[in-house]
Amino acid sequence: MIRIIGAGLAGSEAAYYLGSRGVEVELVDMKPQKFTPAHESANFGELVCSNSLKSDDIWGNACGLLKEEMRRLGSLTMAAAEVSRVPAGGALAVDREKFSAYITEKLRACPYIHIICEEVTSLPEKGVIATGPLTGGALYKDIEEKLGASLHFYDASAPIVAADSIDLDRTFTGDRYGKGTGDYINCPLTKEQYEAFVEALTSAERATLHDFEKGEIFEGCMPLEVMASRGKDTLRFGTFKPVGLADESGVRPYAVLQLRKENEAGTSYNLVGCQTNLKFGEQKRVFSLIPALAHAEFERYGVMHRNTYLPSDRLLNNDFSLRSNPDLFFAGQITGVEGYVESAMSGLFAGIHIWNRLHGKLSEAPEDTCVSGALARYISTENKDFQPMNANYGILRQSVCVRDKKEKKRRLGAIALEEIERFKATIYGEGGR
């Protein structure tokens, strides 16, 4: 019996991989008995900060490539995303409720997965810890005491508005550089409107963090107001950049906020890249300065979360097992991978490595010529400046020497998928699953 603690993306991946192959699994989660401050649904695999799983471009984006690696290894997350996806141009975005409902249904329907609702307060001797970046309470204290895992950072989620409250007369539809099928609603701003927005944003009152909550802010999910405070044009070269966008008359606006469908029905829209820690009343006041959102109804305000992660570079092997106790695995963002897809990947690979061990096979990560293998090696390689890491080409072994960036990414992608097929064959044999 394999005990997996936590039914987020990572824990769900590990449980399903093993359970669907006939391995008895205990999947332990405290929901619905108890919720973290960020979670709302009793379903498993709940997405908190965003409904986007980032780019779906296999040949031009590292996260898109990672998703394809996971598809080829039978990822539950990727299967759920396919049945719940919503139009989002070149990105893979999902209907959150359908997404987590699909994962929950698959886990509950598997006869080898036994679901237990309870809060775990101490580290077990064996199994998988996939309690996520919001790990806290007694379990966090036990981890801290036994492993010295006292590191954390903060990230934030973006607001969501009702579709029928958007002033569409002040928007235009379209995807950046014409990619996609016109899935984004674009809210243009003039120079005066943009500067007024930035001034209000940077001077607005922020939600207060307690002393014990203060820590590093992850660059990849930085609150909008923090980014804006670095300079008045920072957002125009980032979240609000107008490059690749033009209105119906062919004119590129001074700045643009993009809105992305939050659900399949298109009744809710996410303010792309507008994660924030402003007080709720301030969010409504500041974002209402954007003409298209002057009368917007907020279905969810942005919030800030503490994300806990291990100093994995000195604690974990590249198969996500603990160096001091190889029978205990960690998976998810607590390992130092950052992002939904990356988190799910670590759970999938924890399941694969346990499967390997059960079948007497050597448990090793794939080579760092693929994204999953590179991430596994990143989190397990000692680094005095260790910080959470997203999927990116920079961590791949640079085995391609060509000047053209597109061609280089394409070749790196081909090499990565060859490595995944090789790795898969070591588990199941040629052509197996």
pLDDT in tens, 45-91: 999 878 889 999 999 999 999 999 999 999 999 999 999 999 998 89
Structural domain includes residue 16: yes
Full domain range(s) for residue 199: 160-302
The reply to whether 295 and 347 lie within a common domain is no
The reply to whether 148 and 9 lie within a common domain is yes
Q: Which pLDDT does position 211 carry in this prediction?
A: 42
The reply to whether 26 and 94 lie within a common domain is yes
* Structural domains of the chain, count: 2
Structural domain includes residue 28: yes
Q: Which pLDDT does position 380 carry in this prediction?
A: 95
The reply to whether 191 and 294 lie within a common domain is yes
| CATH number of the domain where residue 69 is located | 3.50.50.60
The reply to whether 282 and 168 lie within a common domain is yes
Structural domain includes residue 333: yes
| CATH number of the domain where residue 251 is located | 2.40.30
Please tell me what DSSP assigns to residue 245. -
Q: Is 415 helix (H, G, I), strand (E, B) or coil?
A: helix
- Contact 45/12 with Cβ under 8 angstroms? yes
- Contact 269/259 with Cβ under 8 angstroms? yes
- Those residues whose C-beta lies under 8 Å from the C-beta of residue 359, and which sit 6 or more positions away, are none
**395: its two tokens:** 């961590």
- Euclidean distance between CA atoms 65 and 43, whole angstroms: 28
Structural domain includes residue 230: yes
Structural domain includes residue 194: yes
The reply to whether 148 and 165 lie within a common domain is no
- Those residues whose C-beta lies under 8 Å from the C-beta of residue 170, and which sit 6 or more positions away, are 187, 188, 291, 292
The reply to whether 120 and 237 lie within a common domain is no
The full length of the chain comes to 433
Asked which of 286, 302, 318 is the last residue of a domain, the reply is: 302
DSSP calls for 326-347? EEEEE-SGGGTB-SHHHHHHHH
The reply to whether 105 and 173 lie within a common domain is no
Asked which of 302, 325, 344 is the last residue of a domain, the reply is: 302
The reply to whether 150 and 114 lie within a common domain is yes
Q: Which is it for strands 160-162 and 268-271: parallel, antiparallel or unpaired?
A: antiparallel
- Euclidean distance between CA atoms 425 and 309, whole angstroms: 32
Asked which of 302, 322, 352 is the last residue of a domain, the reply is: 302
Structural domain includes residue 227: yes
Structural domain includes residue 52: yes
Structural domain includes residue 433: no
Chain position carrying tokens 């080579």? 367
The reply to whether 281 and 139 lie within a common domain is no
User: Per residue of the chain (433 residues), what is the pLDDT tens digit?
Assistant: 999 999 999 999 999 999 999 999 999 998 877 766 666 778 999 998 788 899 999 999 999 999 999 999 999 999 999 999 999 988 999 999 999 999 999 999 999 999 999 999 999 999 999 998 778 789 988 998 998 766 666 666 788 898 989 999 999 999 888 777 788 999 999 999 999 999 999 999 988 654 434 445 545 567 899 999 999 999 999 999 999 998 888 899 999 999 998 877 788 899 999 999 899 899 999 999 999 999 999 887 887 766 788 999 999 999 999 999 999 999 999 998 988 999 999 999 999 999 999 999 877 899 999 999 999 999 999 987 687 788 988 888 877 888 888 999 999 999 999 999 999 998 876 554 5
Q: Which pLDDT does position 366 carry in this prediction?
A: 95
The reply to whether 128 and 166 lie within a common domain is no
DSSP calls for 136-203? -HHHHHHHHHHH---EEEEEE---EEEGGGS-GGG-EE--GGG-SSS--EEEEE-HHHHHHHHHHHHH
Q: Which pLDDT does position 215 carry in this prediction?
A: 47
- Euclidean distance between CA atoms 59 and 8, whole angstroms: 28
The reply to whether 150 and 66 lie within a common domain is yes
* Cα dihedral: 145, 148, 153, 157 (round 10): -50
Model's pTM, two decimal places?
A: 0.74
Q: Which pLDDT does position 154 carry in this prediction?
A: 62
Q: Which pLDDT does position 245 carry in this prediction?
A: 93
pLDDT tens per residue, range 228-241: 999 999 999 999 99
- Those residues whose C-beta lies under 8 Å from the C-beta of residue 141, and which sit 6 or more positions away, are none
Residue 196, amino acid: A
